[in-house]
A and B are shown apart, each in its own frame.
Chain A
Amino acid sequence: MGETKGESYLLSDVKDAEPAGLPRVSSGDVRSNRPMVHFDKVQKSYDGETLVVKNFNLEIRKGEFLTMLGPSGSGKTTCLMMVAGFEPATHGEIYLDGQPINSVPPHKRGIGMVFQNYALFPHMTIAENLAFPLDVRGIGKAEAEKKVQRALDMVQMGDGSFHGRRPAQLSGGQQQRVALARALVFEPKLVLMDEPLGALDKQLREHMQLEIKHIHESLGVTVIYVTHDQGEALTMSDRIAVFNDGVVQQLAAPEVLYEKPENSFVAQFIGENNTLLGKVKAINEGIARVELPDGEVVEALAVNAGPGERTQLSIRPERVEIDPDESVSDHTVTARVEEVIYLGDHIRTRMTVAGNSDFVVKTRNRLGARRLDPGASVRVGWATEDCRALDHE
């Protein structure tokens, strides 16, 4: 381990550290080109009959905040457990900082981990919980105390009243902070978090999202974060790996994932989405002409569908205009208003478009915004690049 950089990040003052995401670890370090974690064709099966993780390839850069997002049972925790060493990979190899780790036992991997239920040791005080990883590393008492204090300061629990308490005497949010501090106190280069905010209420969750993000930025550690809350993933991540069925459906930055989904699963899973079923008639310079069930023909970006194939068009609700003028939309179709829902800052209008009665249009509630009446017939339209022709699942 030739690196000295970032090795004792808890002893430098966290508050003064530059908030930029990556530079601390990456600047001028040759080895930093190597990914922090590299999944190489990893497969996992628990029962020898079904693959929970199928041919999983992923490179996670140093200092990156990568989120694994996916529905329940999609294999997110399994992947995390393979990195941590609690589940062996059935096939393939995982590299940590360039070293294969399949045969390294968990306690020698030096990876920090925050568990969903926090897993704070109930028979130890907060200070003892935090000192545990330092103690097993043989770090002296005085230095350990200093590090514990730093770590508690970092999660804003350093005022001394918490040191002697047991985990059961803390609120959920406080326990979460302690778990975070414990995973960071021994200064691992990689921290794994498995739905760490799952047990908190909405407000606290949003607060902690920002706090974790700030800590990540100021420390420059690599974080693999697991969640099935897409809002959380979009807020916090540098990149998101969308999981389904043991396969990464798309790996991209949040805005790319939202605006340019590669397939219909991602389009459906991330954010709100309108789907129109159709058939690709022709593709010309990346633009597909798609025939809808009611015979109308619209144009869409040909992302994941070939000529003659059935396709699923994806349009975000806020990108749809009602009665648009020529300058914004290339194309309009007929729609019938089914329901109007007033939501304060915006208005949702549910319509039937080309046989889909769940077509939602979101309009900002600005001055003079038009309220439609159910049953009315209107024209709606969108820009061609906002309409993506994806695979038909």
Chain B
Amino acid sequence: MASTDGAIKEPILAADGTPLKQALRRSQARERRAAFLLVAPLLLFILIVFAVPIASMIWRSVYNPEVRNFLPQTAAALQEWDGEDVPPEPVFQAMAADMIVGVEKRTIGRAAARINREIPGARSRMMRTAREVDEWSAPYREKFLETDERWSDLDFWRLLKRETRLVTPAYYLLALDYEYTADGEIRPRPEVYRIYKALFWRTAWMSMLITGICILLAYPISYLMATQPTRLANLLLILVLLPFWTSLLVRTSAWIVLLQQQGVVNELLVALNVIDEGGRLRMIYNRTGTIIAMTHILLPFMVLPLYSVMKTIPPSYLRAAKSLGAHPFRAWWRVYFPLTIPGLAAGCILVFILAIGYYITPALVGGDSGIFISNLIAQNMQGSSAQLKLAAALATILLVAVLVVYWVFNKLIGVDKLKFG
């Protein structure tokens, strides 16, 4: 043994004198090409239906073309302006030219709408001026100010200058309940508009809670399945997988029948005198409903990896621990539990990541207090182009959160150690 130590300093050569590593690589090139061709269709598919849309979503969340594209000359002229006083003549001249083009091409409305979102009333003023401007001639500055004195509003021009940037963080600020002030500072939005951050937190803690409940329910079931004869184990597995096999609507209506205030559970509790008529529990169309239904749906994702890991742990480990003098609980904690961590971690990451992006169940049984961030993303996706961008920003934040969770798991456990099934 000792003779081989330290002797492998210089590269080993193949028979023809090329380094062995290089020869090996060359000999494997063909197989690698074949392997690549095998996965190429899937790679292409993923690229088209997954990578490209996600990239476009991220781009959309920061893309801000209106002012720059529809008021190009104004945008250029404003670069010279220092923002201290009403802009000089060239800016107004550029604005007039842009308006003429805009009216002709019917794009001026879109630019006006964009600005109107930040300064209410700006749209009607712009449109009115735009209709008249082709009859004017230089100098434009006075004409503008005569028509409407609000053209001297510094906030308007500052906003316009800010919005000439093609890339804007504005939607991310909105998604985190912040906004720009008129003079370009970032500040929290007024109390009544602050909804997204709270919803992110709610999504996170409810997902954690659901993951926790799934662990508590799945661990004993998986253990039972792993230690019972195959026939019984398969029966249990079918019960666990049942939510996958029933349609969403059937499942949801079952929950409604069970959990509503006139539902089976409440009737039973009243009949047993556990609660009285007035004290019927609200268990659906609120947080409780979301938690119950989502735990049910996500449970298999916890059970399957746990079960597959537990099945590989021979019963002799626990027996060995006991024969060595460990109390059954200690034997379980020191020997069995550590060996199930790869499955447990895989289950947690699956359930948690699925939960924070879940949409349909909270929408159906969550009421107002039980909805998740995805529900607001969906809601925003139905709206105007600005809401669409907000939705893109929210979705991107969610995506980043998922990646962060994954990264943390990787640091803690090591993804290569996870066993998904």
Whether, in the assembled complex, B418 has its beta carbon less than 8 Å from a beta carbon of chain A, the answer is: no
Residues of B within 8 A of A132 (CB): 321, 324, 326, 334
Whether B319 lies near A86 (C-beta < 8 A) is yes
The complex places the Cα of A133 from the Cα of B331 at a distance, in Å, of 10
Stretch at the interface among A104-112, A206-214, A307-315, A366-374: A104-112
- A107-B327 contact given A123-B338, A123-B339, A132-B334, CB 8 Å threshold: yes
The complex places the Cα of A136 from the Cα of B321 at a distance, in Å, of 10
Residues of B within 8 A of A107 (CB): 322-328, 331
Smallest beta-carbon distance A297→chain B, Å = 56
Whether B331 lies near A115 (C-beta < 8 A) is no
Interface string of B296-329 (1 = CB under 8 A from A): 0000000000000000001011011111111110
Whether, in the assembled complex, A186 has its beta carbon less than 8 Å from a beta carbon of chain B, the answer is: yes
The complex places the Cα of A335 from the Cα of B330 at a distance, in Å, of 68
The complex places the Cα of A86 from the Cα of B335 at a distance, in Å, of 17
Residues of A within 8 A of B327 (CB): 107, 136
Near A by CB (< 8 A), chain B positions 339-360 give 339
Whether A122 lies near B319 (C-beta < 8 A) is no
A136 in complex: contacting residue of B314, B326, B339, CB < 8 Å:
B326
- A119-B317 contact given A132-B334, A136-B330, CB 8 Å threshold: yes
- A136-B319 contact given A117-B314, A121-B335, A123-B338, CB 8 Å threshold: no
With most chain B CB atoms within 10 A of its CB, the pick from A112, A120, A123 is A123
Whether A110 lies near B317 (C-beta < 8 A) is no
B327 to A, closest residue via Cβ: A107
Near B by CB (< 8 A), chain A positions 90-141 give 105-113, 115-117, 119-123, 132-133, 136-137
Whether B326 lies near A122 (C-beta < 8 A) is no
A-B contact count (CB 8 A): 64
Whether, in the assembled complex, A84 has its beta carbon less than 8 Å from a beta carbon of chain B, the answer is: yes
- Interface size classification for chain A: 20 to 34
The complex places the Cα of A120 from the Cα of B323 at a distance, in Å, of 12
Near B by CB (< 8 A), chain A positions 300-351 give none
- Interface size classification for chain B: 10 to 19
Whether, in the assembled complex, A38 has its beta carbon less than 8 Å from a beta carbon of chain B, the answer is: no
Smallest beta-carbon distance B236→chain A, Å = 22
Whether A122 lies near B324 (C-beta < 8 A) is no
Whether A115 lies near B339 (C-beta < 8 A) is no
Whether, in the assembled complex, A279 has its beta carbon less than 8 Å from a beta carbon of chain B, the answer is: no
Whether A119 lies near B330 (C-beta < 8 A) is no
- A136-B324 contact given A115-B316, A119-B316, A119-B317, CB 8 Å threshold: yes
Whether, in the assembled complex, A182 has its beta carbon less than 8 Å from a beta carbon of chain B, the answer is: yes
Whether B339 lies near A119 (C-beta < 8 A) is no
Smallest beta-carbon distance A167→chain B, Å = 11
Near A by CB (< 8 A), chain B positions 173-210 give none
Whether B330 lies near A113 (C-beta < 8 A) is no
The complex places the Cα of A282 from the Cα of B335 at a distance, in Å, of 65
Whether A115 lies near B320 (C-beta < 8 A) is yes
Residues of A within 8 A of B328 (CB): 105, 107
The 8 closest A-B pairs by CB, nearest first: A133-B324, A119-B320, A119-B316, A113-B323, A106-B322, A136-B326, A107-B322, A115-B316
**Please, could you name 22 A-B residue pairs with CB atoms under 8 Å apart, sorted by A?**
A105-B322, A106-B323, A107-B322, A107-B325, A107-B326, A107-B327, A107-B328, A116-B316, A119-B314, A119-B317, A119-B319, A120-B320, A121-B321, A123-B338, A132-B326, A132-B334, A133-B325, A133-B326, A136-B326, A136-B330, A183-B323, A186-B324
16 new A-B contacts, CB < 8 A, other than A107-B324, A107-B331, A108-B325, are A85-B322, A86-B319, A105-B328, A106-B323, A107-B322, A107-B326, A107-B327, A110-B325, A113-B319, A113-B323, A121-B320, A132-B324, A133-B324, A136-B324, A136-B326, A183-B324
Q: Which A residues have a C-beta under 8 Å from some C-beta of B?
A: 84-86, 105-113, 115-117, 119-123, 132-133, 136-137, 182-183, 186
